[in-house]
Amino acid sequence: MHRYFADSPMPRYAQLADLLRQRIARGVWGQGAQLPSLDALTHEFDVARVTVRQAIDLLSREGLVSAQQGRGTFVTGQPAPGRSIRLETSLRSLAEVYRHDKPKLTLIEEASVQPRLEAKDGAPAPRYHFLRRVHSRDGQAYCVISIYLDERVFRRAPARFRRETVIPVLLDLKTRIARAHQTLRIGSADTEVAGHLGVPVNSPVADVRRVFRAPDGTVLYLGEVTYRGDYIDLEMNLKP
């Protein structure tokens, strides 16, 4: 397996262009900065020279870089700001994010599966309904999510849970949630996730784990979400 690129229908040069584009967006190469030489990029990414040339040409057509004869290739623009998901820090605010921006949901898997719960999460429900799907907006996949929902809750509105994002439905059903928390960890895309999100293998991702617990301590919902790293906006108020 190549350390940078996914086994994907996306051409290798397009994956390389995405990696270079991310570096420009993050400021690794600022406005006016010179990109590494063709030989240096060929060596770093272990690709053919023609692949690097095609990637640079693609970025040039986007207005991000300009090749100057005898001098090299320089950064001349910034990628257009992409859409993002704001990771809210309250349950109701998080629900509103999903309620007003309806994504396309593509089901990957559905079954009856018990989640791996930690002692601090709470007590397991007798049975869980499992959904694994990809969320997309404007034709771009932005997250892969594994959902474990207490079967008793799922049976209250199975059609809605299958076609809508889960959190607004839970609140609409007035599900009693005594505790809700989420953790975020920065990671890198493995082959499966990279394929679903259309990003190179090892691209940065944000892994979010959400747990909702009932008043009796039962875990009603576990969501394990992997977001594209360039799609996340996390804002928190800090106490003075």
Tell me the whole-structure pTM to 2 decimals. Answer: 0.68
- pLDDT tens for 79-127 read 765 555 555 557 777 777 677 667 889 999 899 889 989 999 999 999 9
- pLDDT tens for 210-229 read 999 999 999 999 999 999 98
d(CA 228, CA 184): 13
Give me the pLDDT at residue 100, please: 67
Give me the pLDDT at residue 49, please: 94
Whether residue 196 is predicted with pLDDT greater than 80 in this model: the reply is yes
* Better pLDDT: 128 or 240: 128
**Domains of the chain in sequence order:** 12-75 (1.10.10.10), 85-233 (3.40.1410.10)
d(CA 114, CA 112): 7
Contact 141, 225 (CB under 8 A): no
State both tokens at 182.
Answer: 């989420």
Contact 159, 131 (CB under 8 A): no
- pLDDT tens for 46-60 read 999 999 999 999 999
